[in-house]
Amino acid sequence: MGIFFGTDGIRGVVNNDLTEELAQMVGNSLSRKKKNPKILVGRDTRISGSYLTCAFSTGALKGGGNVYDVGIIPTAGISYLVKSQKFDYGVVISASHNPKEYNGIKIFNQEGEKLNEKEEAELERYFACQQICQSTKVGKYKNKQTLANKYVDFLIKSSKFTLKNLKIVLDCSNGASYKIAPKVFKKLGAQVIKINCSNNGNKINEHCGSTNVESLREKVMSTCANVGFAFDGDSDRVIAVDELGNVLDGDQLIYLLAKNLSKQNLLNSNTVVGTSHTNTGLLIALNRNKINLIRTDIGDKYVIEAMKKMNLSLGGEQSGHIIIKPFLPTGDGVLAAIQIANIMVESSKKLSELFDAKLLPQYNKNIMVTDKLKVLNNENLSQKILQISNQISPAGRILVRASGTEPKIRIMVEYNDEIIAKKYINEIEKIIKSI
C-alpha cells in the first residue's frame, strides 16, 4: 500500500483524510499522466459524492481531461463501461461498505481493471508535489447518466435463465445499486421484494447491506422468499441468505460458483482464488471436488492480481467481493447474485440444499486503533500471536491484520473450541489496547 492508496483506492473521512484538494489532485494527476484523457466518473449515494465528484472533475478539467459523469452507479458498472465504451480511465467516488462520513476514490484503467500498486505509486508522485497542473486548453464536462442503461443490459444478458419462479429479497444498503438491482431482477422475471433501496446517502450501510444482514434474514423468513441478497454501498460485495435464514458469505458463494463452473469445464485450471481468511472447511470441500484453492493476502486487489497472473476465472473474499473473470475483471455483487440465482434455477434446488461444505468455526473481532503500523510492529503482540498459533496448530489458525480501509485491527481465530478461541481473542485485544 502507498501513502494515499489503501487496499481499495483512496479512502478516508471527508474533509479530514479525504479533502477537496486531494480529490482535485487525483483528477489532475490523471490528466498529467495521459494527455487529454476521457474519464468516466460514477458514485454511490453518499451526500459527499457530488462534492467530491465536482472536486475531482475540476482537477481533471484544469489539466485538459474530459469528464463524463454517469451519476449513481455500482462500481462494477464503471469497470464495464470504461472498457466497452473506450474510456481512458474510470473513476468511482465511493467508500464501499464504510460508514456515511467516509468516501473514497477508486480508479480503473481502460481495460476496466483497478490500478495496480505500481500505477498507484506513479500517481502518488504527482500528489507529492502539491501542485495543480493547468492546461491552456481545459477539458469538457458532460452528463452521461444514460450510459448506466448499457450496464443494466449487460447484467440482464449475463443470465442464462429466466428467474420467474423465484421470490428474491434485495437489500441494496441504500447505496449505488438501489435502482439498478431491483430493475435487473424484475426484468429477469423474479418477484422482487426491496428493503433499504433508497438513495438517501445519510443511511448508506446503516444497519443494513452486506455488513449487517439481520433485516434481510427477517424479510426472507417473513415473506417465505427463495433467497435474499445483500449488497454494500457500491455493490461490489454480496452476501446471501437462504430460504431457511442461513447466511452465506462470499467464500461460501464462491464455493457454489466454483463447483458449477467446474462442472461446465469453465473453471480455469480447476482452481479458485481465496484469501488468508477463507475458511479451512471450504478448502477441504473444494479439494473433495477436485478443485484447488490458492490463498492471497486480504484485499480484492491481491485476489485479482493472482487471478490475472495465473489466468484463473474465479476468486474473491469472505466479505463478498466475487470476481467472475469471464464477465468482468472486478467484483460485482449484482452479477454474482444473478449467477447464484441461475444455479438455483438450473439445479431446481433450494439454496440450503446446494451448500454442502462443513465449515470450521471462525471468531472475529475488530479493534479501533489510532496507529495500525505501531500495533502490528509491537514485539509483545508478535510473540503472543506466535504462541497462540503454535498452541492451536494444525487444527486451528489465528490471523491478526490491519484493515485496509478503516483505522481498525482485525482479529480472526479459526478453532473448534469456542471458549478457547474467544479466550485467545481477548488476550490479543488486551495487548492491542495496551500499546
pLDDT in tens, 230-280: 999 999 999 999 999 999 999 999 999 999 999 999 999 999 999 999 999
Model pLDDT for residues 59-86, shown as the tens digit of each residue: 999 999 999 999 999 999 999 999 999 9
The predicted pLDDT at position 125 comes to 86
Q: Left if phi > 0, otherwise alpha if psi is -120 to 50, otherwise beta: which for 387? A: alpha
The predicted pLDDT at position 395 comes to 86
| Tally of domains within the chain | 3
Instruction: Based on the fold, state whether residues 195 and 287 are members of the same structural domain.
Output: yes
Instruction: Based on the fold, state whether residues 173 and 89 are members of the same structural domain.
Output: no
Quick check: 27 and 57 in contact, CB under 8 A? yes
Active site residue 50: no
Q: Which residue shows C-alpha cell 419462479?
A: 165
Domain span at residue 291?
158-354
Residues 6+ apart with CB under 8 A from 35: 64
| CA-wise closest residue to 341 among 208, 195, 241, 205 | 241
Instruction: Based on the fold, state whether residues 337 and 412 are members of the same structural domain.
Output: no
Model pLDDT for residues 89-148, shown as the tens digit of each residue: 999 999 999 999 999 999 999 999 999 888 898 888 887 676 777 777 899 999 999 999
Cis peptide before 74 (omega within 30 of 0): no
Model pLDDT for residues 35-65, shown as the tens digit of each residue: 999 999 999 999 999 999 999 999 999 999 9
Instruction: Based on the fold, state whether residues 138 and 172 are members of the same structural domain.
Output: no
Instruction: Based on the fold, state whether residues 199 and 334 are members of the same structural domain.
Output: yes
Residues 6+ apart with CB under 8 A from 55: 20, 21, 23, 24, 27
Quick check: 320 and 254 in contact, CB under 8 A? no
The predicted pLDDT at position 2 comes to 62
Listed residues 149, 176, 201: the one ending a domain: 149
Statement: residue 3 has pLDDT above 80: no
165 vs 8 pLDDT, higher one = 165
Statement: residue 190 has pLDDT above 90: yes
Quick check: 94 and 103 in contact, CB under 8 A? yes
Instruction: Based on the fold, state whether residues 285 and 347 are members of the same structural domain.
Output: yes
258 vs 298 pLDDT, higher one = 258
The predicted pLDDT at position 134 comes to 76
Least confident of 162-171, 283-292, 321-330, 425-434: 425-434
Query: What's the CA gap between 19 and 28, in Å, rounded?
Result: 14
Instruction: Based on the fold, state whether residues 138 and 65 are members of the same structural domain.
Output: yes
Instruction: Based on the fold, state whether residues 264 and 344 are members of the same structural domain.
Output: yes
| End-to-end C-alpha distance for the chain, whole angstroms | 23
Statement: residue 1 has pLDDT above 60: no
Instruction: Based on the fold, state whether residues 52 and 118 are members of the same structural domain.
Output: yes
Least confident of 1-5, 264-268, 287-291, 341-345: 1-5
Instruction: Based on the fold, state whether residues 187 and 126 are members of the same structural domain.
Output: no
Give Cα separations from 193 to 167, 186, 259 (angstroms): 8, 10, 28
Instruction: Based on the fold, state whether residues 171 and 43 are members of the same structural domain.
Output: no
CATH of the domain at 367: 3.30.310.50
Listed residues 114, 149, 184: the one ending a domain: 149
CATH of the domain at 84: 3.40.120.10
Instruction: Based on the fold, state whether residues 345 and 258 are members of the same structural domain.
Output: yes
The predicted pLDDT at position 59 comes to 95
- The CA-based angle 301-236-18, given to 5 degrees, is 70
Mean pLDDT estimate for the chain: 94
Listed residues 286, 320, 354: the one ending a domain: 354
Taking residues 332-351, report their average pLDDT. 98
Q: One of 79, 94, 96, 158 is an active-site residue; which one?
A: 96
